[in-house]
Structure 1
């Protein structure tokens, strides 16, 4: 597959004195809900290309936006100007940093996580990120710029693992951002949404390879799901992911359903799954999801089939007795083939109370509404609900921003296959509840722009942080070369 894609790309591009220009004139994201017709699409391969693109844009008074692997649901990459796709800027340099007393990996913004994992594994000693997103078919620059997060409870978001960024700004110069240079500017640069310029390289803190015991727990929802159990799980785990797969038991009622918890524990024990076995498992997971995509599409077209098909997928597609030890990257990216099922995904960050009651209350509320919708023969959620728990961030645009570094947030998301009737109504209802009740903040990379009055809400929520970020943005892009997104203009400058 990779070789075929590479040949196709070469056939569609030419090298000019300015940069590599892609000959396709339209762009759309993976989910298919965003598309645009840029004047030019570039696929740069090095710093020289990036600087040439910025110079040309400046001469022609054009705007620039960037795209990574296209897994962002919001409109951040949509442009009628120049679109820069970064996946060929993919270098890796590994060093030991005496100042940090840690290994670091300086990577091109366009490197895919699966390729970064390979390089880190082959290093002597083998290295790994300590937490990341489940998908490994996304790029480093993409997940950092949009403020993505993993499942490690003691961590903040992924950008907080970045100690340095190099960005080509509107004057064509390569600027470095770090806490050592300027903490305020670094707090803007980590989650910058492409508004400071084109990210060229990022430096992550990485650590020696470690193993994770991954345990899947399937407990009855009504007897085991409570705040003390959740809090204990968070305090005793390295990472957790909590799922609700709708209609997962016969009887089709919440009293029969089970909750699905993935618990991740660091261990010194040897891996029980070999690299070969993991590759085979990933291949079968991909095939399962490719087949499952047809069933998901069927649910979208025939909504009344949702309870029965959903139950079938839960029983047939999930290992209900999983307890295995994996190398860190294999555990973190535990589900292969997710790309096979284009879907809709809305996620909000909700600040947790000290006893974790909010997480239980909102999780149960969504389940209650799923069944209330079902009574009306409506099935707006047909994939899953999920949350992960992180600590707060000091990045200016972080949805999990809080001055207290020990504050917990839970990041709650609902997913349905593309074309699912009533998803918009359902997601708006939930978003408005979370916003009014908990002052919840949307994940920039997910669906959120469809929620009524969300723009003034986010603008107000950012408060002083909005002004601080805008001062940094104006310093490096005074003529708004990278400011080609109407949503962000309304949020940041009104």
Structure 2
């Protein structure tokens, strides 16, 4: 295996920096096996990484071992290349079982979303039911944090795992297929070992019928009744009848196969991208976005990266930065004033989920995301007013912040629940996945107080009985160092949010490790780090 000694490491967001003693490039399963055996002999901890789109400290650490699933230059070159699959780097896609409406597809851990999207378009037969927008990410990376999902009818990617292949603490390849074990192991933060492949249950290909829109922000996600509208929000000319109709449309959008809402700072309009799927897509359907549009997005993100690094841009007030970037975003996004004002766009579902290309080329950002359960009302229906309040509380905090800390976007997806033990969506009937993003070069003295204020709002949300909602962070986003209801997040996770889940998780992992010739202590010694030691083992 190729390796580099004492190579400084930084994640894409730039908030995690360390210097592993060795950085290895994974090329074969045998190579990973030999690496783990060597690390065991030398008493090193081993963690893996891909495009490094994780903000929490899930990586290797100074003096330990990092193994990357991609060539070293691929994740750190801008504009980032979009190479085809290369079997030399644990990249592969293989249909192992055809079940009619579903199939089981084995995917190498180093395979990227871009490669899977290209494969899905070429064969036009199978698609994932949900995925991230981002194409520059590996399947090992999207599966590990147990959070990624989209659509109220869907679970998370980890819930789709029917087989998990990994190299254990003894350097031996293992394959798990027991559904009871996979409920913990499918998303286990890499603590069982270095994942080399996952087999996912995919759906028969369908088409997405897209009609994105740019309604005024009170009509995109209507404020809850009697909500104090921030002074900066333009309500002029909006009638009670329009708000009533917008409420019905919003709730209908939340129930669609895919539902996502964007607000770019200080913009009077939002962007709504909610759609349903239809079976039997036309075989002559074109790629979406069209090749030229995809290239413009890809290269445009890189130009914005260069712009935000320019000294003159950095000295602009935060509100000006946010307004300008938001104006550019809304300019390039498709959509009319309402969904009915543009002709439907028919795309393969596997393309529609990746509607924005080149995200990896964009300027690094700070990203805090939380998963908020959508509770039921007294009549048993979902209470979407909680979703609306979370959204508007973030907007209110933005207008109340004189520093202009929010400079990229407020983004919200409606997702389902999860059966995976450590998933933040577990036990939820439905989930509001909501996040705030700013440029990574925004001062921590500006960003952190604002983000904490938003989190304070979200953590105060209650159901119709007045009970606090058990919100949980997206494991891969920024949550370390914040507080929930006055308690450090790390303590909140251990003692409140995952109080019952952590013992169950450890018990299942311990059983797996023992059955395969090791122990949970061996897993911790070989694959944990300071973050997981603190949350799970202390």
Q: TM-score range by the shorter chain?
A: 0.7 to 0.9
Alpha-carbon distance in structure 1 between the residues aligned to 2:283 and 2:351? 10
Counterpart in the other structure of 1:488: 532
Counterpart in the other structure of 2:441: 419
1:114 is the counterpart of 2:114: yes
Alpha-carbon distance in structure 2 between the residues aligned to 1:340 and 1:469? 36
Unaligned runs of 5+ in 2: 71-88, 223-246, 337-341, 376-381, 462-468, 514-519
Question: RMSD across aligned C-alpha pairs, in angstroms?
Answer: 2.3
Structure 1 segment 291-370 matched on structure 2, within 5 A: 291-297=303-309, 300-303=314-317, 304-306=319-321, 308-310=323-325, 312-321=327-336, 323-341=344-362, 342-353=364-375, 354-370=382-398
Confirm or deny: 8 A CA contact 1:133 1:148 kept in the other structure.
no
Alpha-carbon distance in structure 2 between the residues aligned to 1:63 and 1:307? 41
Alpha-carbon distance in structure 1 between the residues aligned to 2:322 and 2:53? 28
Distance change >3 Å, CA 308–CA 348, structure 1 → 2: closer
Counterpart in the other structure of 1:11: none
1:314 CA displacement = 4.2
Counterpart in the other structure of 1:233: 253
1:409-436 deviations in Å (ceiling 9; x for gaps)? 1100001111123111111222233235
- TM-score, normalised to structure 2, is 0.80
Give the alignment partner of residue 69 of structure 2, picking from 55, 62, 86: 86
1:447 is the counterpart of 2:447: no
Distance change >3 Å, CA 317–CA 94, structure 1 → 2: same
1:459 is the counterpart of 2:494: yes
SS at match of 1:219: coil
Distance change >3 Å, CA 359–CA 182, structure 1 → 2: closer
1:263 is the counterpart of 2:274: yes
1:288 is the counterpart of 2:300: yes
Structure 1 segment 107-186 matched on structure 2, within 5 A: 107-123=107-123, 126-178=125-177, 181-183=178-180, 185-186=181-182
Alpha-carbon distance in structure 1 between the residues aligned to 2:54 and 2:187? 14
Alpha-carbon distance in structure 2 between the residues aligned to 1:220 and 1:295? 28
Structure 1 segment 198-209 matched on structure 2, within 5 A: 198-209=194-205
1:300 CA displacement = 4.8
1:326 CA displacement = 1.3
Counterpart in the other structure of 1:221: 217
Alpha-carbon distance in structure 2 between the residues aligned to 1:116 and 1:290? 23
Alpha-carbon distance in structure 1 between the residues aligned to 2:204 and 2:67? 34
Distance change >3 Å, CA 307–CA 141, structure 1 → 2: closer
Alpha-carbon distance in structure 1 between the residues aligned to 2:435 and 2:131? 17
1:30 CA displacement = 1.2
Alpha-carbon distance in structure 2 between the residues aligned to 1:171 and 1:388? 40
Alpha-carbon distance in structure 2 between the residues aligned to 1:41 and 1:293? 27
Alpha-carbon distance in structure 2 between the residues aligned to 1:473 and 1:364? 40
Alpha-carbon distance in structure 2 between the residues aligned to 1:277 and 1:238? 19
Unaligned runs of 5+ in 1: 1-18, 249-256
Alpha-carbon distance in structure 1 between the residues aligned to 2:272 and 2:415? 16
1:139 CA displacement = 0.4
Alpha-carbon distance in structure 1 between the residues aligned to 2:183 and 2:126? 26
SS at match of 1:349: strand
Q: Which piece of structure 1 moves more, 185-194 or 425-434?
A: 425-434
How many equivalent residue pairs? 456
Counterpart in the other structure of 2:104: 104
Confirm or deny: 8 A CA contact 1:231 1:355 kept in the other structure.
no
Give the alignment partner of residue 47 of structure 1, picking from 20, 26, 29: 29
1:160-211 deviations in Å (ceiling 9; x for gaps)? 1111111211122222223xx251x211111111111111110011233222
Alpha-carbon distance in structure 2 between the residues aligned to 1:127 and 1:450? 41
Structure 1 segment 272-287 matched on structure 2, within 5 A: 274-275=286-287, 278-287=290-299
1:263 CA displacement = 1.5
Misfit runs of 4+, over 6 Å: none
Counterpart in the other structure of 2:241: none
Distance change >3 Å, CA 315–CA 156, structure 1 → 2: closer
1:247 is the counterpart of 2:281: no
Counterpart in the other structure of 1:20: 2
Counterpart in the other structure of 1:10: none
Structure 1 segment 363-382 matched on structure 2, within 5 A: 363-373=391-401, 376=402, 378-382=403-407
Alpha-carbon distance in structure 2 between the residues aligned to 1:492 and 1:428? 24
1:312 CA displacement = 3.2
Alpha-carbon distance in structure 1 between the residues aligned to 2:361 and 2:289? 21
1:30-61 deviations in Å (ceiling 9; x for gaps)? 12111221111111212111110111011111
Give the alignment partner of residue 408 of structure 2, picking from 383, 407, 420: 383
Distance change >3 Å, CA 346–CA 97, structure 1 → 2: same
Alpha-carbon distance in structure 1 between the residues aligned to 2:263 and 2:271? 6
Confirm or deny: 8 A CA contact 2:412 2:432 kept in the other structure.
yes
- TM-score, normalised to structure 1, is 0.86
Alpha-carbon distance in structure 2 between the residues aligned to 1:317 and 1:24? 42
1:110 CA displacement = 1.0
